[in-house]
Chains A and B, each alone.
Chain A
Amino acid sequence: MSAFSAIETKRDVDQNEFTPDIEPQATWCPGCGDFGVLKALKGAMTEVGKNPDEVLLVTGIGCSGKLSSYFDSYGYHSIHGRSLPIARASKLANPNLEVVAAGGDGDGYGIGGNHFMHTARENHDMVYIVFNNEIFGLTKGQTSPTSPKGHKSKTQPHGSAKDPVRPLSMSLSAGSSYIARTAAVNPNQAKEILVEAIEHDGFAHIDFLTQCPTWNKDAKQYVPYTDVQEDEEFSFEVTDRQEAGEMMYEAESRLSEGEVLTGRFYQDDRPSYGQEKRHTGEMPEQPLAERYFDDSYEWERSADLMHRHR
């Protein structure tokens, strides 16, 4: 028997269950794209049939980090850039948890970039949502890693001399096995993509365009947007690494010119990290967390290792 009956018991879930009974007043501005992520995530979790007590939502710092405050599940609002290492260890400790990490573009592609690269490389079975608004919002409008070249802000008064990072291409080369871009203004696609990401067995990275109506008016509302799967101009195979890479390059370049391309960009069925680690004999078959609640487990002792030291 599991010590975690929220995971063991499967039941129908209502979308409202992910909304706290008394909802904390959101700190997001009216018209903020972050509301779109919250709504899409609630819808997606309901659709895949997860209940609030079996979901762990780990967030970083910034407006995006507040997601865990308004989404009713186990939440871990961590520190800037570090949502991924916390989230992936929780998943290793208890692989039956549904683990989602989320943060902003500064959080994921800037200060936490190293963790992004390695979590993708290891292909942990989890979802990573990056709220990409091409700006540092909560600190009041500084240039971020995804801000377009020439972007002017209080900290870049003459305009940024840097090209923005290419999040999709970076994700592909790092090793993510599901890569998509969606936009807050496209709630149906966002929900569908989140459902796919949750169901995907591996590291699913979603670059989520979230308009910042206060500090990044240039980005408008990321409308009009184009779905690369539906528009006839684009024809590529999401499982073809090379074609996917070219499509990503195109989408990233066009965003700098104000054209919004969204959709699924890459999908690969390579084994997740948990599977690989179990395969090499370095991870137990049963969730480690269960063992601490199992009174019948015979714990190994250092006394068993003494023969090496005699």
Chain B
Amino acid sequence: MTNDELLWRIAGGSGDGIDSTSQNFAKALMRSGLNIFTHRHYPSRIRGGHTYVEVRAASHEVKSRGDGYNFLLALGDSFARNPQEDAYYGNEEVKPLTENLDDLREGGVIVYDEGLLDETDVADLDEQAEENGWHVYPLDLRGLAREHGREVMRNTAGVGATAALLGMELDPVEELMEERMSGEVLEQNLEILEIAKNEVEDREFTHDLQIPAVEDGQKQGLAEDHEQVLVSGSTAIAYGAIDEGCRFISGYPMTPWTDVFTIMSQNLPEFGGIAEQVEDEIAAASLAIGASHAGVKAMSGSSGGGFALMSEPLGLAEMAETPIVLVEAMRAGPSTGMPTKPEQGDLEHVLYTSQGDSNRVVFAPGNAQEAYEQTRRAFQLAYEYQLPAIVLYDQKLSGELVNVDEAFFDREPNPSLGSVLTEEEIAEAPHHHSGKFNRYQHDVENGVSPRSVPGQEDGRFLVTGNEHTPQGHISEDPDNRVNQMDRRMEKLESIRAELDADDQSSQTLYAPDGAECQYGIVTFGSQQGTVEEATKRLSENGHSVKALGVSELLPYPTKDVKAFLDSVEQCMVVEMNASAQFRGLTQKELGGYGDMMTSLLKYNGNPFEPEEIVDGFESSISGDGDAPGHSTTFVPAAGD
């Protein structure tokens, strides 16, 4: 086992403060100079039920969850329903311990709260520990917390024990507690932290895992001397929207989209904006349309089922050319599926939902920085080209925390409404002799006909979801129809050209051994970091391989993907769904390549681990693609 990274997993019951404890722990490690990446696993339940958060910390850059983990802090589940082994969902009381053992690496460390977890309920723990070389430290964390404070503070005791076992300084943890708590609660927590650490330090240790050293006080891959901030993908999306001047959000709660909705709802009132929680997602999307029409930058969003309800308003925004930005946070489907588990199964849904030819922009950012950038770009394109722009992400990107250079967010705001006229410009703009403003002119540059906003003098026009004349009146005239349709579709070509003209492509090429490679791996959206880590290891294993993370889906980045595929002999497409949707899209857009693209799929509710991609790739080139022990599925190239 290597000691260059810590993969700390805190497990317990939903509602036991696992999330906040892990966030503070992650932040403390970040402040001590390490790079951070977290992975959240939780049930669709308010109280009780097995939940864990994994904090990966290393002095080198980390862009993915790791392979398994090496330190387990198993707290009790204080709201467990079933204390019997033969209960339908098993014995929930011991799940923080039992459910996590499969992924614990050889030689790993286990700390469990013997105040809540009875070792005798896990009959073969000793055997398993011996077999795997685990180092087990039972501690009465609950008892300690009760004695010096309150029972809920057992999480703090667990962090104190962790610090002792890993040789970690308490300063950053204490500092964070002082920033967040006060009075008696603070005093008790500090005391418990200290006592837990001291008690554990008195014991004899059998493990050698330590907190990773911060090499040269620098973080690799990040700018020097810059303060780091810990952000999630959802935070990055919300902050991108704020910096684009979005001051209106409408929504209905649904996991995992609720994160973005919450962050916006908490910040907008302070910034003089408006957040509306409404009756359903049809209303949510319609409100965003109404606000945008009246001259405000607006957004809405949802997850699978809620986004399905937005289909009709989405089509209206395309036909009416009312700009809106929607975000779609995917979770495992179909239907209610697995509400708190990630999947990338809504790709085709988001590309095509709503009647008629779709006329929208769809981005799928690969990490927090891209989530920020592409949310901003989505607003710019939506308001300039007057169409819906969608940011497609998932439960994984939504909740994972990663450290980012704070300077990254030091950016200029862009509140521009895009192609909107002022009253002076309207006075000069073409009008119909009926008095109406020509809102939907036929022959215009890039297909964009500038709009007016209600309340502007002489700017009145009619919006309609019907096909319409330049003034917006309903029309079924064939020539007008083709003119308007061509103009709307031309906007997508103009957007593609604009994106292609960027200095740097939004598709992320990762080629550790240079561009000349025999093999390629392609993915889209949130799997990018994991694919990069796998590619790095494959390259270290002697394979000639490079990777491409695609984050623009519509209009499709034909040039970038084609160039990548043309440069390799064979390519594996990695995605989290069961029907290889992204591979299908690529074949459709490029008109071929089916015979050189294989698929590695995963849809069990957990995101890929790098090792799964490494093994999947290796078995695909040397065998039939079967990777025993993994829950991935290999699909050969078309024709094979």
Contact = CB atoms under 8 A, between A and B. Distances in A.
B42 to A, nearest CB: 21
6 contacts: A3-B422, A4-B456, A85-B282, A94-B294, A306-B406, A310-B228
A76 B233 CA distance: 35
A7 to B, nearest CB: 5
Contact of A92 (B276, B289, B413, B436): B276
Interface in B292-348: 293-298, 312-313, 316, 320
B455 A4 contact: yes
Interface in A137-180: none
A24 B463 CA distance: 15
A22 B435 CA distance: 8
B152 interface: no
Nearest to A116: B279
Interface stretch (B240-248, B565-573, B623-631): B240-248
Interface residues of B, number: 79
B455 A97 contact: yes
A297 to B, nearest CB: 8
A75 B462 contact: yes
Interface string A290-310: 011100010111110110011
A198 B276 CA distance: 24
Greatest chain A CB density within 10 A among B286, B288, B296, B459 is at B286
A79 B422 contact: no
Interface stretch (A65-73, A128-136, A181-189): A65-73
Contacts of B420: 292
Greatest chain B CB density within 10 A among A2, A74, A291, A297 is at A74
Contact of B406 (A97, A114, A310): A310
B460 A72 contact: yes
Greatest chain B CB density within 10 A among A85, A90, A97 is at A85
B6 interface: no
Contacts of B290: 58, 76, 85-90, 93
Interface string B247-259: 1101000000000
Which are the 9 A-B pairs with shortest beta-carbon distances?
Answer: A89-B290, A4-B455, A302-B239, A85-B286, A309-B229, A289-B295, A93-B294, A86-B290, A89-B287
B466 interface: yes
Interface string A92-105: 11101100000000
A292 B59 CA distance: 44
Contacts of B274: 92-93, 277, 282-284, 288
Contacts of B462: 68-69, 75-77
A13 interface: no
A114 B280 contact: yes
A53 interface: yes
**Chain A, interface residues (CB within 8 Å), range:** 35 or more
Given A77-B463, A89-B286, A5 B294 contact: no
Given A53-B455, A85-B282, A300-B242, A292 B293 contact: no
Given A72-B435, A309-B229, A292 B245 contact: yes
Interface stretch (B103-111, B153-161, B265-273, B535-543): B265-273
A85 B472 contact: no
Given A3-B423, A86-B290, A118 B279 contact: yes
B463 to A, nearest CB: 4
A89 to B, nearest CB: 3
A89 B276 contact: yes
Contacts of B271: 300
Contact of A118 (B242, B278, B456): B278
Given A22-B432, A302-B240, 18 more contacts: A3-B422, A6-B458, A7-B455, A53-B454, A53-B460, A74-B454, A76-B462, A77-B474, A85-B287, A90-B293, A92-B248, A93-B298, A288-B273, A288-B296, A289-B453, A299-B413, A303-B411, A306-B409
B415 A288 contact: no
Contacts of B312: 79, 82
B40 to A, nearest CB: 17
Contact of B457 (A20, A53, A281, A289): A53
B146 interface: no
Contacts of A21: 433-435
A37 to B, nearest CB: 17
Contact of B291 (A9, A93, A309): A93
Interface string A271-284: 00000010001111
B58 interface: no
A91 B462 CA distance: 17
B231 interface: yes
Nearest to B273: A288
Contacts of A288: 247-248, 272-274, 296
B11 interface: no
A117 interface: yes
A93 B248 contact: yes
B275 interface: yes
A245 interface: no
A234 B560 CA distance: 76
Contacts of A58: 290
A115 interface: yes
Interface in B204-257: 227-231, 235, 239-240, 242-243, 245, 247-248, 250
Contact of B286 (A7, A78, A277): A78
A302 B282 contact: no
A76 B463 CA distance: 5
A47 interface: no
A52 interface: yes
A295 B147 CA distance: 60
B248 to A, nearest CB: 7
B410 interface: yes
B464 interface: yes
Contacts of B463: 75-78
B167 interface: no
Interface string A49-68: 00011101010010000101
B465 interface: yes
A16 B406 CA distance: 59
Nearest to A61: B465
B423 A82 contact: no
A89 B247 CA distance: 12
B415 A299 contact: yes
B371 to A, nearest CB: 12
A61 B474 CA distance: 12
B465 A78 contact: yes
Contacts of B349: none
Contacts of A66: 474
Interface in B439-493: 453-466, 472-474
Contacts of A7: 455
A69 B286 contact: no
B145 interface: no
B168 interface: no
A282 B320 CA distance: 29
A131 to B, nearest CB: 17
Nearest to B288: A89
Contacts of B316: 78-79, 82
